[in-house]
Homo-oligomer: A and B are copies of this chain.
Amino acid sequence: MKKSISELKKLSKICRGDILKMTYVSKSGHPGGSMSSIDIYLSVFNRANMNPEKPFDVNRDKTIISHGHTSPGVYAALGRLGFFNIEEALAGFRHPGSIFEGHVTRGIPGIEWSTGNLGQGLSAGVGMALAAKKLNNNSRVYVLSSDGESPKGQIAEARRTAKKENLNNLTVIVDYNDIQISGRARDVLYVDIASEYKSAGWNIIEIDGHNFEQINAALESAENYKLGPTAIIAKTIIGKDVSFMENRHEYHGSPLNETELEKALKELNVENDVKKYIEMRNKLTLERDSHNYNNVKLDVNTGKPIMYTRETTTDNRSAWGNAVADLAVLNKDKFPVVTIDCDLKPSVKLAKFEKVNPEGYVQIGIQEHNAATIGGAMSTCGVLTFFTDFGVFGLDEVFNQQRLNDINHTNFNTAITHCGIDVGEDGKTHHAINYIGLVRNMYNTQLIVPADPNQTDRAIRYAASHEGNVITAMGRSKIPVILNENGEIFFNENYEFEYGKADIFRKGKGLTIFTYGSFANMAVNAADELKKEGINISVVNLSTPLSINVEEIKEFIEDNIVITYEDHNVNSGIANELSKLIVENGLKVKKIINMGVNEYAPSGSIKYLLKYFGMDVESLIKKIKELMK
């Protein structure tokens, strides 16, 4: 049951009281901005197609709170509109035993995206609005933003995509209270928010953000505007409705003390019942319910593998391009299959995908931060979502966007190409040599670095069907298909990709090369050459370098000389994982030699660079012979 405007006006005082109580009880949090945004929150949550009885309905409207520190306002509004028991938020806010975290948290009914790092919310909203378009449903998306975060560049990026994709189902409301931590927003920076949205081709409405009639009229007007997205710039007052808090930036991040609280609640005509919530809080333990992130589940048809034979020397990125095109054909009648590109179509091999599934090809331009967040958000909505880019752009440049996807438990497939010094001539700015070192910092994202086109094909199919984030890293060069000792295809028709499983390419004695990715075939090469001279070494492929099963590889470590051999920064690659595993399990290794990239590489062909670093097959063989003497 939707509320009338006069009911909302009453709730607005109550919610302001909640904000002050919540932050008082937790002795922490952001009351000021919450009180400038609260009338907008109440209006949007009330007007939107959001139903407390079915908060995760697939056709619901969605709201993203981009300035996530206004969580007290969000929790107050959602609680008072019946999305959950408000008392739980009042007592549990910012307590580890409660889901009501300091910044809004995905999974709480009514909250679609965990935020906190400013500037990413609009991209998330664009992702969800674009998903609604692809899904052909009527869902609207509201992004609640602030003047303080408006300078973030990612917002400028998101604006352009919203216009380009004609997202008339997207409304942004900017809480313009003109106060941030360092004082007046206008003093902190030259930023004309309305003009920037206008330059980007948006529909603009300017209103008083504490006038419910104006807020509602603006929301209605935005719904009726069909030519693109709408931005509502809402002038507000920080600390609104408590005389001594109004327009004071000191209340941005500081709760009231006891005397101030008493005074404020009196002004708001709200009962001071904080004792009750303090008592409830004191009873909280450190246990809390597990969290459901409510990604829309996809039943992905992974089809049959495409086989690459020893005659077809190709690059892993082509195998990726073929696999994703195949997945699109197999699934596009069941749900949208989208691949996001940042102006690199020929290099990341998307031509085929675009041909078979043009409606799934999304061009974001050179705006990687925006692309990574759009993709993450879209992947939660029932769209099979891929994002492809060079490693330095799809991971190094957007590490924090991928971290937020990781925090949000999205269902996002990133395929990064041009990893390693394998990129060659483009040089050090383009050498993504940290893919393991970066993904190691994420708790919920899998990393796959396939050894050849066949393993790539299978890895992409696995990633598509796996629920959760997967990053697949590939090089640039054409590489041969891996063969077993009998000259047969190693990853054959019967091979199924299993996350965490090592591949034993060669089994020898006394020395093992641990490798993966584009270096794997060279390790095999070295082993086969050495075999001709009667030296039998082992080659173990760790295509999931962050998930290694010690039982599988123990025998290749114990009493062996171990060589790690990787197209990666030697300080942050598999040597770390293997060493930890060796020490933790008390394994006895004869010696370990870590071969990898030990400085920024110059510009040059991969052939030259391998020589430069002493990592070509010849140098590898020479080193092994010395070690085995």
Contacts and interface: CB of A to CB of B under 8 A. Distances in A.
Given A96-B602, A599-B443, A583 B572 contact: no
Given A102-B427, A153-B369, A341 B117 contact: no
Interface string A153-194: 111110011011000000000000000111000001111100
Interface stretch (A3-11, A196-204, A512-520): A196-204
Contact of A400 (B397, B608, B611): B397
A425 B603 contact: no
B407 A400 contact: no
Contacts of A441: 433-434, 437-438, 569, 571-572
A29 to B, nearest CB: 7
Contacts of A425: 26, 28-29, 94, 102
A365 interface: yes
B148 A366 contact: yes
Given A96-B609, A164-B190, A425-B29, A343 B148 contact: yes
A611 B188 contact: no
A114 B181 CA distance: 34
Contacts of A579: 576, 579-580, 582-584
Contact of A182 (B115, B157, B341, B404): B341
A527 interface: no
Contact of A160 (B119, B151, B344, B608): B151
Interface string A578-612: 11101110100101101000111111110011011
A39 interface: no
A315 interface: no
A346 interface: yes
A195 interface: yes
Interface in A509-533: none
Nearest to A397: B400
A105 B426 CA distance: 11
A352 interface: no
A554 to B, nearest CB: 15
B397 A117 contact: yes
A363 interface: yes
Given A153-B156, A188-B343, A117 B26 contact: no
Interface in A180-239: 180-182, 188-192, 195-196, 198-201
A61 interface: no
A96 B68 CA distance: 47
A275 interface: no
B201 A199 contact: no
A157 B149 contact: no
A114 B29 CA distance: 42
Contact of A151 (B367, B397, B437, B569): B367
A327 interface: no
A149 B430 contact: no
A366 B199 contact: no
Interface in A268-321: 286, 288
Contacts of A424: 28
Interface in A364-408: 364-367, 369-370, 392-393, 396-400, 403-404, 407
B608 A96 contact: yes
A47 interface: no
A416 to B, nearest CB: 13
A199 B151 CA distance: 13
Copy number in the complex reads 2
A152 interface: yes
Contacts of A398: 400
A422 interface: no
A201 B186 CA distance: 14
B195 A199 contact: yes
A118 B429 CA distance: 10
A407 B346 CA distance: 28
A580 B596 CA distance: 14
Contact of A180 (B156, B198, B343, B392): B343
Contacts of A589: 583
A16 interface: no
A101 interface: yes
B392 A400 contact: yes
Contact of A153 (B103, B370, B440): B370
A491 B599 CA distance: 34
A264 interface: no
Contacts of A100: 603
Contacts of A440: 437, 571-572
B101 A603 contact: yes
A151 to B, nearest CB: 5
Interface string A30-41: 000000000000
B163 A153 contact: no
A621 to B, nearest CB: 19
Contacts of A466: none
A154 B153 contact: yes
Given A343-B181, A576-B580, A429 B103 contact: yes
15 contacts: A116-B429, A117-B393, A152-B367, A153-B155, A181-B343, A182-B365, A192-B201, A398-B400, A399-B399, A437-B441, A443-B571, A443-B600, A546-B571, A579-B580, A584-B592
CB-CB nearest 3 A-B residue pairs: A153-B153, A116-B429, A96-B604
Given A94-B425, A94-B604, A103-B426, 7 more contacts: A94-B427, A117-B429, A119-B366, A182-B341, A437-B437, A443-B571, A579-B582
